[in-house]
Amino acid sequence: MDNEKQIERIAASKSPEEYIENSLDSGLPPRLKARAARIWMERTGCSSEDIVHARNRHPYWKAQKSKNAAERARRRMDANDFAGGKPSGWDSERLARFLELNGRDPDGRFLRKDRELAEAFRTTIPSIQYLRRKHAAILRSFGRDVPVDLAIDCMALAETVLKRGSRAIEEALSQRQRAQANGAGRREA
């Protein structure tokens, strides 16, 4: 089949899913596929978002996206590792600064990107994402008006504890305080 017939076959597709199948089967170069896509969108009234949506559900494109995903993720992580491979501790001062910088705009989007915070704190993006999840769990449990000192104390708890809610958090904090009190008493004796 010549190129014009392939373009017409793609442009005659009835649905985004059929468009994806016909496009894959056509063997056309990208520039001709782009022309076929423009014609198809004009005829059907569909948009490029419809194509992207259908493409993301198609098995071929799912496999293409997952190919080398681990390698790409590793490269991205290495490129954004501001800790230099060394673990960084989170004392109460750093956590207070993190809580200060971890704000959201009125639409609920973070004011600073993960990468910006990772660079500012000389840590990794996963470390920032972990702290953000913990902070979100604290806010869900205690509301937006949670005192900073309570939030800092809670940040020392495990994420699994924080996700269980305010009762579990309060119990874990009281156990921690009792353990610290008992430990301090033993050292003095």
CA distance 99 to 131: 9
- Overall pTM surpassing 0.95 (yes/no): no
- Span between the terminal Cα atoms of the chain, in Å: 91
Tell me the C-alpha distance between 24 and 2, whole Å.
15
Q: Rounded to an integer, what distance in angstroms lies between the CA atom of residue 151 and that of residue 132? A: 12
CA distance 21 to 15: 10
pLDDT of residue 188: 44
Write the DSSP assignment of 68-135 as a string of letters.
Answer: THHHHHHHHHHHT-TTTT------HHHHHHHHHH--B-TTS-BSS-HHHHHHHHTS-HHHHHHHHHHH
- Give the mean pLDDT per block of 10 residues along the chain (189 residues): 89 94 93 94 93 92 87 83 82 93 90 92 91 94 91 92 91 87 58
Separation of alpha carbons 179 and 188, rounded Å: 14
Distance from C-alpha of 11 to C-alpha of 68, rounded to nearest angstrom:
32
**pLDDT at residue 72 in the model:** 85
d(CA 19, CA 40): 8
Q: Where are the domains of the chain?
A: 3-66, 77-188
Q: What is the pLDDT of residue 187?
A: 46
Rounded CA separation 19/36 (Å): 10
pLDDT value of position 65: 84
Position 142 scores a pLDDT of 92
SS3 at position 49:
helix
> Tokens at residue 102, please?
């971890």
